[in-house]
Amino acid sequence: MNNLSVKITELGKHLNQMQNVNERYDSKQKSKIAQAALQFEALFTSMLLRSMNSATDEIFDNGENEFGVKNNSNLFGLPDGFDAIFEQQFADFMARGKSIGIADAVYKKVTGEELPKNIQKSSFKRTVDVDTRKYDSEFKSIKPASDSLNRLRKYEEIIEKASNEFGVDKNLIRSVILAESAANHNAISPAKAKGLMQLVDSTATEMGVKNSFDPVQNIFGGTKYLAKMLRQYNGNLKLALAAYNAGPTNVEKYNGIPPFKETQRYIEKVISYLNHFNENES
């Protein structure tokens, strides 16, 4: 059999064409894939920690905390309610570009490329970009009751820590607490939302809250969810509050604030309270 010869006059051109066959995603799509991969890793890590902690709940019993809530320690020696803090530190760890490997594997499986380090550093932005003072000209008609303000004071330290942890304005956290429960940590709504920031069971579970009546867990869980809504709606405070009250599904369904009087009244109340706190600080 005679040898066959192949003439290639532009080797670089052929190699480039081969590479382009594998270019299935543009840069915007790759960024979304990277963020999804990182979020999957964070979720997996959170579930793993939660599972490890739940196995130790009955081992450590430290009585009740200052709010009269049973206070067990967990595997890491942390009281109940600080699981969310610990999980957030893991998110910080990954945000510094030190992924534990799951996100890298997922991204490479989908794209065939290595996960860019600059995406790891930017995907878990903590501070929520929202100007809570731009609403000063509206919604000033509703003032918080003095007794609810008095109740709120006992939670100031928790609010401060949650604000720092999740990058949410502490005045906004205060305003949501007052609008949701009037600062009553035992409050239960007709829809079975519980505690200071009125968490339904599904949201509490998603945020890692085991006891919604524990002020520490409730405020951290509620603030974490509020931060998630603010990021989801790019810092649009009204849409984030609408999603917090009526659910993001309804915000998407109506392509904006749902036409529910309760939700519209809720937004007015929260922003009125927010203006009250901002004015008293100025």
- Write down the catalytic residue from 41, 165, 180, 268: 180
pTM, two decimal places: 0.64
238 CB-contact burial (10 Å; exposed 0-12 / middle 13-18 / buried 19+): middle
- As a residue count, the chain comes to 282
Q: What are the pLDDT digits (tens) for 116-149? A: 776 654 444 455 566 555 555 566 678 899 999 9
Active site residue 180: yes
Confidence tier at 88 by pLDDT (50, 70, 90) = low
Tell me if 102 sits within 8 A of 28, measured CB to CB: no
Beta bridge mates, 70: 64
Average pLDDT, the chain: 77
Tell me if 123 sits within 8 A of 91, measured CB to CB: no
Q: What are the pLDDT digits (tens) for 146-203? A: 999 999 999 999 999 999 888 899 999 999 999 999 999 999 999 899 999 999 999 9
Domains observed in the chain:
26-122 (no CATH), 146-281 (1.10.530.10)
